[in-house]
Structure formats: C-alpha cells, structure tokens
Amino acid sequence: MTTETRTRTEELTINMGPQHPSTHGVLRLVVTLDGERVVQVIPDIGYLHSSMEKIAERLTYQQYLPYADRYDYLNAMGNELAYVMAVEKLLGIEPTPRCQFIRVMMAEMNRIASHLVYFATLGNDVGAVSVFLYCFREREAILDLFEAASGQRLLYHYLRIGGLRNDLPDDFCAGLGHFLSYFPSRIDEYDKLLTKNRIFRSRMEGVGHFSAEDALSYGVTGPCLRGCGTDYDIRRADPYCVYPQLDFTVPTFEECDAMARHLVRQEEMRQSVRILQQCLEMLPEGDVSVKVPRRIKPDPGEAYARVESPRGELGCYIVSDGSEKPYRLHWRAPSFYNLQAYPVMCKDAWVADLVAILGSVDIVLGDVDR
C-alpha cells in the first residue's frame, strides 16, 4: 500500500481578493485548490459597478461625454472616441480631417499609456519591480502631453461631438516628436528587463494556455485574441477615422500563452509609435470642429460604433427615441468578455500562475463592472 492511497486529501476553496494587490482593482476570485493545483476559478465581479449605462438615460448627449471617460480610466480617449463616433453616426456628422487625425493620435497615445500601465503592473506582480518605475516615468511624459492638449491628466473630456474641445497647442507636435524619438529605445529596455529575463520567462511561457477556438467562442478580443494567432483588429477589420491611410501591422503570436499576449502588447507599442510618426507627418491644417446644434436631438434610431481599445473591441450602442437623451446606451466592454475566459486559462495552472495569467489578460475592473 502506497502513501497516496492512505493520505486523504480534499479540495480547498479560498478567496483571492477583493483587496488583493494583483487583482488590479476590486475583483474577487473564488479559487478551488487541490494542493497547489487550481481546480476551478470563479471570478466574482460587481464591486465597482457604477451604473454607467443607466446614468446615460438621464443625461443629454453632451453631458454624458465626461462619464464616458470614467469607466475604463486607462483608456479615456478611446472611450470618448467610441461614444462620439456613435453619436455622430446617429446625427450623420462627418468630422474634419484634422480632427480625425488628432483623434487617432490621442487614441494611439492612450494605447501606449495603457500598455505601459500593463507592463508596470505585470512586472510588479511577477516580481520585476523596477519596470514599474520606468514605465510610469514614460507614461508621465504622455500624460504631460495630454494635459497640454486637454487640461486634465487622466479623465480628459477632450473629444466633442463633431470635433474637439480645442486645437492642439503649438508645442504639442514638437513634444510628441521628442517623446517618439526616445521611446522605442525604452521599449528595448523593457524587452531586456522582462522578455530576456529568465525568471520572467519561466513564469510566463507555457502558462495560461488558451486556444484560438476558445477565444473566439468566448468573444475574447484584443491582444488576448492576437496572442492566439488570430489576426483580428478593429483598426483593420472595420477601419474607422483615418486608419486606412496609415501603414501599420497587426502583430500576432502563435503560442497562445501568457508570454504571447505580453509580446503582442510590446509589439503594439512599437506599431503605435509608427502610427504616431505618420500622423505627425500627415497632420493637415484646418478646423477641428464642425458646427453642431446646441441641443442635440437625433432622429429615432440606433447606432453602434466600435474602436480597438488596448484591451479589445470596445463598442458603444445607442438607441435614440428622438429626445435629447439616449433611450438606451450599452457599452461592449472588452475586459468583461476577456475576464470570462479567465477560468479556462487557469485550468490546471499552479496557484502561483494565477497572478501572472490575470496580469496577462490585462483587465480594468472599472471596464468590467461599469
């Protein structure tokens, strides 16, 4: 008789969160463990629920715009872009070319800033603390540019229906050009610190395996889907603004693990730098705003606009009943869909991998709960 048959083991259910530092917000994970192996993970969400969709029904179209910043706070410009595009679709407004370019620039800068936060927090979670400091230093440079343009550092309220709040300040392009001149070398530094690091690779490679079929059936989008080798990006699949005029590649990796998702984001930052450089060259002169009536009353109907946020497909669906306020507004929040695939990724993982996998999914809890 061996020891295995004599020892009685039973599964243990523990809570991870809602105050755990690597849950990036307030997420509670109910984890069932068999020793060090994960048997089942159930994410418990809703701690940050702020009825973002219901609020829209009591506010006019202009008044809701600052709220759009607030639920996915790391991608405020992208949220504004989705909302503004949906309202403009309802109204049938076409923004000016300069406005379109500036919107794309803002969205891409915000993508870089969001991915930098991802790098920082992921490095912090798996034990590479110095990356946290360097990423936040670079992010600060982007936030300074945002502040120069919009007057706020995190929740910008910069885009407007039919245009922008104001044109770019004079020194904005020079500042952005300076940032783009040194930023690619900084990405190489993160590459050395993280991707070249033996410990980081051991923690990331081969964990959180997730096939492309699973990703598609769960509605996973963004870097998590492209890390499964599926070439799907809204900027290519359903181009908006001036993305058709820009030359960039959509990076994909075939490994389907946490490392692949990490590398997708690293490549995306390089592509964003390319897009920004092209935008700076091609930025046309002219007005940034078109005239819109002060009281926005779209005809009854519905509109859906989607953009590629740093986390995936971000959609905004508005139903208008002809009044000043939306009848119904719905956010297709990418983090929510990506999080529901998290239990599949954690199948047969070690308990120490939970943090690395959650970091590689890159959820924002404000986006999940909204």
Partner 1 sequence: MRLSFLNAERRTLMPVHRSRREPTVAELLLIILEGAWSIVVGLYVTFINFWRTKVTDRYPHRDPALNWQPRPGYRGDFALITDRETGKLRCIGCQQCQNICPDGCILVVPEGKGKERHPKEFYIDAGLCMYCGLCVEVCPADALTMTPDYETATDDPRKLVRDIDYLRERGMEYDEVLRVQ
| Residues lying near partner 1 in the complex (CB under 8 A) | 59, 62-67, 70, 128, 130, 134, 137, 140, 147-148, 151-152, 155, 157, 165-166, 169, 188-189, 191-193, 195-199, 201-202, 205-206, 263
For residue 234, CA distances in Å to 85, 92, 285, 306, 319 come to 14, 21, 27, 8, 22
Closer to partner 1 by CB, 26 or 288: give it. 288
Least spacing, CB of residue 147 vs partner 1, in Å: 6
**Nearest distance from C-beta of residue 196 to partner 1, angstroms:** 6
The whole-angstrom separation of Cα 70 and Cα 68 is: 5
Q: What is the DSSP string of 35-101?
A: TTEEEEEEEE--TT---HHHHHTTS-HHHHHHHHHHSSGGGHHHHHHHHHHHHHHHHT----HHHHH
Residues, the chain: 370
CB of 42 to partner 1, least distance (A): 26
Closer by beta carbon to partner 1, 94 or else 147: 147
Smallest distance, partner 1 to C-beta of residue 337, A: 28
Whether 217 and 250 have beta carbons less than 8 Å apart is answered as no
Tokens 């603390």, residue located: 129
User: Residue 157 or residue 236: which is nearer to partner 1 going by CB?
Assistant: 157
Tell me whether residue 195 or residue 245 sits nearer to partner 1 (CB atom): 195
Residue 5: CB atoms within 10 Å:
7
Listed residue (72, 126, 18) closest to 365, CA to CA:
72
- Angle (nearest 5°) at CA 362 between 151 and 128: 95
**Closer Cβ to partner 1, 190 or 243, answer by number:** 190
99-113 CB burial, b ≥16 within 10 A, e <16? bbbbbbbbbbbbbbb
Provide, rounded to whole angstroms, the least separation between the CB of residue 59 and partner 1.
6
Nearest approach in angstroms of CB 119 to partner 1 is: 13
Beta bridge pairs of residue 303? 318
**CB closer to partner 1 out of 137 and 299:** 137
**Residue among 167 and 214 whose Cβ is closer to partner 1:** 167
Smallest gap from Cβ 151 to partner 1, in A, equals 5
